[in-house]
A and B are shown apart, each in its own frame.
Chain A
Amino acid sequence: EAGVAQSPRYKIIEKRQSVAFWCNPISGHATLYWYQQILGQGPKLLIQFQNNGVVDDSQLPKDRFSAERLKGVDSTLKIQPAKLEDSAVYLCASSLWTGGRDTQYFGPGTRLTVL
């Protein structure tokens, strides 16, 4: 079974530029998560989707970050405009939705460097 796919793996941009990340979850997984992991920290949830609806975006900086999952499968996360403090690894994860404790499976992440 294929895992969570993410692209690109690495991205370097100047501050104030825009960037987008793509995620393809494991087939059949209804729930998709985007995490931000700053160097030396644990992953922090940015947004959680169930199918194409947002379940939790309380920690998403909505003035510059946006995410969508239009058809309930793939998702994109966008930053516009980027700041230096956005330099981090952006992890996508997916899980089944059983109403219980569903294991989250992570992709390899996109390492973003903002100069």
Chain B
Amino acid sequence: SQQGEEDPQALSIQEGENATMNCSYKTSINNLQWYRQNSGRGLVHLILIRSNEREKHSGRLRVTLDTSKKSSSLLITASRAADTASYFCATDAFQAGTALIFGKGTTLSVSS
């Protein structure tokens, strides 16, 4: 099962520009996480935001969470070609023993 939609599905930008990806989910959550996946490679954990947090920063990453709208956004500032990858949000529900449920993902392409 998947939580919901991410938009856009694909995003193409120039180096130095900002990239914003959005994620919506359906159920109550304990936290929401963002992952990056380079083509054909494993998942890299980027950032986690808890349900009682509204915004979190990590380097060039800024994540927001709006639990009333069941949505989150990931902003990558001053993008680089190395940021080219697929980005997924994943939600962790309140119930113990539940798996992360992933959104459909956004494919980001940064050209130099």
- The answer on A and B forming one complex is no
